Amino acid sequence: MTRLPDFRLETYLARWEITARHHLTASDAQTMVLTELLALADDQDRHAFDNLSLGYTASYGDPGLREAIAQTYAQVDAADVICFAGAEEALYLAMNVLLGAGDHAVVVTPNYQAAETVPLALCDVTGVALDPENDWALQLDRIKAAIRPNTRVVSVNFPNNPTGKVISVADFTELARMCDENAIHLFSDEVYRGLERDPVRTLPQAADLSDHALSLNVTSKSLGLPGLRIGWIACRDRALLARLERAKHYTTICNSAPSEVLARIALKARRVILDRNRALIDANLPAFEAFFAEFPDDFEWRAPDGGCVAYPRYLGPEGVEEFCTRLVEEAGVLLLPAGIYRSELTPTPTDRFRIGIGRANPEEGLAAFAHWMREHR
């Protein structure tokens, strides 16, 4: 494996996230404090948390947590689930298990950087870009054309980060069928599932569609609990899960015992938490719509299909990179410019920025943003 490049998003956030007064680019839904989460626990899980032994845990994950995760799928059992320290560890280990020298992968762009840089460090990779001029459409014929005899993985992310795109159920189902037909593992990043603006557009989970597909999820995004650092992969190929477990022995070995119990509580109460977070996004959207409506010559705005991030276009003459830098330096408003999402695989838009719509009380940040725009336009 070659040396991985700097993680642009994390480097940028490390510079600005703590000092910026208004974090308007958050990728997770509003979180809760520990007492709020514990209030959602049933008697058994509350007793388990209060009397928890702080020893090592099972490398596959707490059995009760795996069962709670399995309940969120239609075709998955607890034995088809393995837990990790967040989605990043799961993605990293899955790519290292699935890919090697001489293999080939197909990755959809734009994406979370690791989705392409980890495969690129292991094998040949072909990118297939969502079309920004056609509502970020995914053209399945381009996926099909990219497949080679040695293709082992097709990697996708819907609802997409950073665009918020959700493709049709028919297209996603056809993608899973296409991968099965070619003996390819569909790797599906589903961390924003549950935050679709129209529930009818919620996609089936890849692990439910195929015995060999991998569904990646985490407590961080839709549930708004990134501090737990609990992610998972669901896959009905149990031999593959065993390989993932052996790979995990070289990283975290096992997860945090308190986090696993808290994640179990959250998964059992997921409908309450997701309803709360969807309601928050719905309540926030009018404020974002009003902001962008005030500056039609500066931005092109479109609300996301799902998730809690959007990817507007900046129309100003100085370019989005300089715009975002000045905005955070002068107004303390943090956005993520398009350069964070540039790809080595395909052209990607250079005039976009990511903005988060899932945190509580965005009005103060939007007001600071609007004040700066009025002074500088």
230 and 280 assigned to the same domain = no
By DSSP bridging, strand 353-356 and strand 309-310 are: antiparallel
* CB half-sphere exposure, 112, CA atoms < 13 A: 24
Helical segments of the chain, H only: 8-16, 34-38, 43-50, 63-70, 86-98, 114-120, 140-146, 169-181, 206-209, 238-248, 257-268, 270-294, 320-331, 363-376
Beta pairing, strands 104-109 & 22-23: unpaired
Range of the domain at 314: 8-33+272-376
Q: Are residues 245 and 292 in the same domain?
A: no
pLDDT at 295: 98
Task: Give the CB-side neighbour count of residue 150, counting CA atoms within 13 A.
Answer: 10
Flag whether 261 is in a domain: yes
0.95 cut: is pTM over it?
yes
DSSP class of residue 16 equals: H
- One domain, residues 248 and 153: yes
- Which ranges of the chain have pLDDT less than 70? 1-2
What interhelical angle do 270-294 and 363-376 show, nearest 10?
A: 20
Cβ-in-10-Å burial (0-12, 13-18, 19+) of 247 comes to middle
Domain CATH code at residue 300: 3.90.1150.10
- Total domains present in the chain: 2
Q: Which phi and psi (to 5°) does residue 40 adopt? A: -90, -5
Nearest-angstrom CA–CA distance, 9 and 22 = 17
Helices (DSSP H) in 99-248: which residue ranges? 114-120, 140-146, 169-181, 206-209, 238-248
Same domain, 201 and 119: yes
Phi, psi torsion values for 300, nearest 5 degrees? -115, 120
Of 240, 269, 298, which residue constitutes the final position of a domain?
Answer: 269
Q: Which of 206, 240, 269 finishes a domain?
A: 269
Torsion of CA 222, 179, 99, 120, to 10 degrees: -70
Cis-peptide, bond into residue 149, ω within 30° of zero: no
Q: Does residue 173 share a domain with residue 277?
A: no
- Which residues have CB under 8 Å from 353's CB, separation 6+? 25, 311, 312, 314, 320, 323, 324, 335, 336, 337, 338
Asked if residue 139 and residue 24 are part of one domain, the reply reads no
Query: What does the pLDDT read at residue 3?
Result: 84
Domain membership of residue 3 (yes or no) is no
Cα–Cα dist 295/78, whole Å: 50
> What is the reported pLDDT for 376?
87
207 and 289 share a domain? no
Check which CATH number belongs to the domain holding 145 and give it.
Answer: 3.40.640.10
For residues 206 and 340, state if they share a domain: no
Confidence (pLDDT) at 8: 95
Domain endpoint, select from 211, 239, 269: 269
